Chains A and B, each alone.
Chain A
Amino acid sequence: MSPTRSDHDTVRTIEAQELPTRFARGWHCLGLSERFGDGRPHKVRAFGRDLVVFRGGDGNLNVLDAHCRHMGGNLAEGTVKGNEIACPFHDWRWGGDGRCKQIPYSRRVPLRARTAAWTALDQDGLLFVWNDPEGKPPPEEVAIPRIEGAGREDWTGWYWNELVVDANCREVVDNVVDMAHFFYVHYSFPTYFKNVFEGHVATQYMNGVGREDVQPPSTSGSPKMLGNTSVASYYGPSFMVDDLTYHYEGMDVESVLINCHYPVDADRFVLQYGVIVRRGEGLEGEAADETAAQMAGYIAKGFEQDIEIWQSKARIDNPLLCEEDGPVYQLRRWYEQFYVDADEVTPEMVDRFEFELDTTRPVEAWRAEVESNLAQRAAESGTV
C-alpha cells in the first residue's frame, strides 16, 4: 500500500531570516568587575561597536564608546588620568558621563563634546552594561536581582570564565527550553522539566539524576551523586541565574551558576559563566573551592559541547518539534520583546506562559539507553 500524498508529504524546508540588525535591549554582564578595576582602560567589543571600560580615581567603573569624538583615537589605548580617560592621540579627557572635561592644550572644550556613555552597574562582583537601541535609561523593574551568596564568607568567590562563540546569541538562549539536548549533548538525565515565561523573566525548572554510563565508577569513600535540582532564570535577554543543588548521599551542595553573554556582532557573542558554592558541613574551607573549581570545569566542558553543535548547525526559525520538545516558539516570542522598541512590546510577548513537559517517554527511552551502554561497557571490559 502506498501512502497517500498530502501536504504533509512535502519536503520540510529550513527557514531563517537575516540576522537581527539590532542588539537586545537589556542589561548585559561584561564579566567580573575586578578584571576592569586596575586603573587601566579595557577594550571591549560589544553590540557591534568598540567600548572602553575603566575605573576612575573615584572608584567608579565607566563604559564609553572607545573612539574619541575629536579625531577618532581609541580611548582603550589611552590612559586613566584622575576620573577621566585620556585619549592617546591628543590627550582629550573624557569623563564617565560621556562629557569631555578638559583639553589640556585648549582654552575651552568645544560645544557638542559629548560621547556615548553606557549606563553601568557594578553589583555582586560583576560589571553590567545597559543596552537600549532607543537610548532610554533602564527601567527599575528589569533590574538584575542581587545574588544572595555573592561576596559572602559562607560562599566561595566566583569561578568565572568566558568563551567567544561564532554564532548568533539566540542559540544559547534556545537552551532554556531544550530538554532533550541535555541528555544527548551534555550527558545529563533530566526527569522533570518545566518552563515559565513572564514579563522579562524566562525560567527553566529542571530536576535530573546522575548517569551511571558516563560517570567513572565512584571511588570508595566519595559520596554517590543522586541527582540535581536546578531553577534557572533569564532576567532579560542575556543574564541567567541558576540556583543549582547537587544531591549526594547524605548531603546537598548548593551553588549559584551564572550563564550570561553579550553580543560582539550579529554573528558572534561572548559566552560567560561563573559559579559560587556554599560552604557548609562536609564542604568547609578549600573543599568548597575545589568543588566550585571542579564545577566550573564541568560547565566549561558543557559549553564546549554546545559550541561544537552551534558551529555546524543551521540557524532555524521554524524548528520542527515533537510533543516531547519544549516551547521553542513561545520562548522566541518572549525573546522578541528585547528586539522591538519598548512601546512595541505586545502582551503575548510578556504574558505568563507555562509549559510542563511530559518526561515519561524520554525517561523510558533514556533509561534503556543507559542500561544498554552499561551492558556494552560490561561486555567490553569482560572480553579484555
Chain B
Amino acid sequence: MVRTDERLIDGAPMQPVRCLRCSATVQARKASWQQTSLQWNAEAAGACEERPAERGERFEACGALRDSVRAAAVEGSLEVPEA
C-alpha cells in the first residue's frame, strides 16, 4: 500500500511549475527557501532537454528547471512558507 506524505496535507502542497526552457510542467513544493520537492511525470521527463538519454544514468538536477522553480518562488506563484 502506498501512503501519502502527511507533510503535503499539513504543510505546503505540491503546485505546478512550468519549466522556462522546455515548457514541461512538474509538481513542485518548497517547505522553505532551501528545500525543494519535484514530482515529474513521463511527459515532463520526455520534454526535458538536459536529462540524459540513457536510462539509469545519474542525473542530479535539471538546471533550467531549478532556475524556473527559483523564479516561481521569488515571484510568488510557488508558495514558500515563512520560516
Q: Taking A329-B3, A348-B2 as contacts, is the C-beta distance between A354 and B37 under 8 angstroms? A: yes
Complex: how many Å from CA A356 to CA B34?
8
A323 engages B32 (CB within 8 Å): yes
CA distance A321 to B31 in the complex (A): 13
Nearest-CB residue, chain B, relative to A355: B37
Choose among A330, A351, A359 the residue that contacts B5 (Cβ–Cβ < 8 A).
A330
Tell whether, in the assembled complex, residue A353 and residue B3 are in contact, meaning their CB atoms are under 8 Å apart. no
Known: A318-B3, A323-B35, A352-B40. A141 touches B58 (CB 8 A): no
Shortest Cβ gap from B10 to chain A (Å): 9
Given A17-B1, A358-B32, does the pair A323, B11 have CB atoms closer than 8 Å?
A: yes
A333-B11 in contact given A353-B40, A355-B37 (Cβ < 8 Å):
no
Question: Chain B contacts of A198 at CB under 8 A?
Answer: 40, 45, 59
Does A3 make an interface contact (CB < 8 A)?
Answer: no
Q: Separation in Å of the A19 CB from the closest CB of chain B?
A: 13
Tell me the complex Cα distance, A360–B31, Å: 12
With A199-B55, A321-B7, A332-B3 known to touch, is A205 a contact of B60 (CB < 8 Å)? yes
Contacts of B11 in A (CB 8 A): 323
A347 and B56 contact, CB distance less than 8 A: no
Residues of B contacting A200 in the complex (Cβ-Cβ under 8 angstroms): 56
Q: Does A317 contact B (CB under 8 A)?
A: yes
Main secondary structure on B side of the interface with A: loop
B38 to chain A, nearest CB (A): 4
A238 sits at the interface (CB 8 A): no
- The count of residues in chain B whose C-beta lies closer than 8 Å to any C-beta of chain A is 28
Residues of A within 8 A of B60 (CB): 194, 196, 203, 205
> Quick check: B39 and A356 within 8 Å, CB to CB?
no
CB-defined interface of B42-66 with A at 8 Å, one 1/0 digit per residue?
A: 1011000000000110111100000
Quick check: B31 and A356 within 8 Å, CB to CB?
no
**In the bound complex, CA of A221 to CA of B14 (Å):** 52
Picked from B2, B37, B45, the residue with its CB within 8 Å of the CB of A327 is: B37
Interface string of A247-285 (1 = CB under 8 A from B): 000000000000000000000000000000000000000
Q: Does A117 contact B (CB under 8 A)?
A: no
Return the CB mask of A217-245 against B: 1 if under 8 Å, else 0. 00000000000000101010000000000
**Nearest chain B CB to A380's CB is how many angstroms away?**
36
Q: Is the CB of B3 within 8 A of A352?
A: no
Q: Which chain A residue lies CB-closest to B60?
A: A205
In the complex, whether A59 has a CB less than 8 A from a CB of chain B is no
Closest Cβ of chain A to B26, distance in Å, is 9
- Flag if B42 contacts A323 (CB, 8 Å): no
Please give, as numbers and ranges, the residues of chain B lying within 8 Å of A357 by CB-CB distance.
35
CB pair B5–A329 under 8 Å, yes or no, is yes
Closest A-chain residue to B61, C-beta based? A354
Residues of A close to B58: CB separation below 8 A:
196, 201, 203, 231, 233
Min CB gap B13→A, angstroms: 14
Residue of B nearest to A233 (CB): B58
A329 touches B4 (CB 8 A): yes
Interface string of A178-198 (1 = CB under 8 A from B): 000000000000000010101
| A321-B2 Cα distance, complex, nearest whole Å | 16
Residue of A nearest to B39 (CB): A353
- In the complex, the answer to whether A327 meets B59 with C-beta atoms within 8 Å is no
Cβ-defined contact, B1 with A358, below 8 A? no
Is A321 in contact with B37, judged by CB distance below 8 angstroms?
A: no
Q: What are 11 A-B contacts defined by CB distance under 8 Å?
A: A205-B60, A231-B58, A321-B5, A323-B31, A323-B35, A347-B42, A351-B40, A351-B45, A355-B36, A357-B35, A358-B33
| Residues of B near any A CB (own CB < 8 A) | 1-7, 11, 31-42, 44-45, 55-56, 58-61
12 extra interface residue pairs, beta carbon distance < 8 Å, beyond A351-B45, A360-B34: A198-B45, A198-B59, A201-B58, A203-B58, A205-B60, A317-B3, A321-B7, A327-B37, A332-B2, A336-B1, A336-B2, A358-B32
